[in-house]
Chain A
Amino acid sequence: MEATLFYILAAVLLIGILLAITARQAVRSIVYLVTSFFALALMFYLLGAPLIAAFEVIIYAGAIMVLFLFVIMMLELESPEKLAKPHFKNWLPALLLAGAVVGALVVLLCSRLQAVPPGFTEIPVRQFAFALFKQYGVAVEVVSMQLLFALVGALYLGRRR
């Protein structure tokens, strides 16, 4: 049951991303991406990471994508946000590189027989928080400073002259 749900969510995720990268308008691309990030959040929940799933919904789908949407609507791009679609000669190197990645994956998977699929273990929030604040406390401090610098940089770039 859970495995079936996982494959359905994976299909939603990949189709959403495929539609997002081929959309003609940036706004539609953002909306497709929000849909696929919701599917990704459910996949995180199935993999035993409820906290990361919540953060995915709150931070990614709720904050970052809405920030993108605000900027796209603020910029007043020419006639309703219609982007110049890339030509085939632009898609060609992209397809080549993506094909190389997928080909490497296929070679890797065919090279050895898969073992018996082990189940996933769920990590409780208590263990997560313990590791975060006991083991990686310095990293939390560094991240807070990084966010402060990003705030200062964004204020500097966005000021009116």
Chain B
Amino acid sequence: MSVPLSHVLIVASLMFAMGLGCVIAWRANVIMMLIGIEIMLNAVMLTFVGGSAHWGIADGQLFSLMLMALTSAEVSLALAMVVYLHRRKQTVNTDEFDSMKG
């Protein structure tokens, strides 16, 4: 394929910027924050795979596989925690979980 690496990086960074915006704009909702984190991790995976294809080494693809394993562990824990918090306060609004006054 004859797409320059910079175009792949442009797509990945636009994706990352949108995920960052999602996390910050929806900071009152736990589920949308998790979705933003997913988008950012996928942007990083696109960067890894693009670099791996550019230099012809398998390491980038390997690390995107590791990133997938990390994400599945993170999502299972985070969603279990969302269920737990929702059982306690009947909401997913982060402003309600201020018992530590952070």
Query: Which residues of chain A have a CB within 8 Å of any CB of chain B?
Result: 2-3, 6-7, 10, 13-14, 17-18, 20-21, 26, 29-30, 33, 37, 40, 43-44, 46-49, 51-52, 55-56, 59-60, 63-64, 67-68, 71-72, 74-75, 77, 83-84, 86, 90-91, 93-95, 97-99, 101-102, 105, 109, 114, 117-123, 127-128, 130-132, 136, 139, 143, 146-147, 149-151, 153-154, 157-158
Note all chain B residues with C-beta closer than 8 A to A72.
31
Interface size on B, residues (CB 8 A): 71
- In the complex the two chains form, what is the Cα distance from A117 to B55 in whole Å? 13
Pick from B7, B14, B28, B31: contact of A14, CB under 8 Å = B14
Q: Answer whether residue B1 sits at the interface, using C-beta atoms and an 8 A cutoff.
A: yes
A120 & B3 in contact (Cβ 8 Å cutoff): yes
A68 & B79 in contact (Cβ 8 Å cutoff): yes
Query: Which residues of chain B have a CB within 8 Å of any CB of chain A?
Result: 1-11, 13-29, 31-32, 34-36, 38-39, 42, 45-46, 49-50, 52-54, 56-59, 61-62, 64-66, 68-77, 79-84, 86, 92-93
Total of A-B residue pairs, C-beta within 8 Å: 225
Closest 9 CB pairs of A and B: A150-B73, A117-B4, A94-B25, A94-B21, A120-B53, A98-B17, A94-B24, A121-B56, A21-B22
Q: Which secondary structure dominates chain B's binding surface? A: helix
- 21 residue pairs of the A-B complex, CB under 8 angstroms, read A2-B1, A6-B1, A17-B15, A21-B32, A26-B29, A48-B53, A49-B52, A64-B38, A64-B72, A68-B34, A94-B20, A94-B21, A102-B17, A105-B10, A114-B6, A120-B1, A122-B53, A123-B58, A147-B69, A154-B80, A157-B84
A83 & B32 in contact (Cβ 8 Å cutoff): yes
What's the minimum C-beta distance from B60 to chain A, rounded to whole angstroms? Answer: 8
What's the minimum C-beta distance from B5 to chain A, rounded to whole angstroms? Answer: 8
What's the minimum C-beta distance from B44 to chain A, rounded to whole angstroms? Answer: 12
- In the complex the two chains form, what is the Cα distance from A6 to B64 in whole Å? 20
- Beyond the given A6-B3, A74-B83, A118-B4, could you list 14 further A-B residue pairs with CB under 8 A, ordered by the A residue number? A3-B3, A21-B21, A44-B49, A46-B1, A51-B65, A97-B20, A101-B13, A101-B17, A117-B3, A123-B57, A131-B58, A132-B58, A146-B73, A158-B83
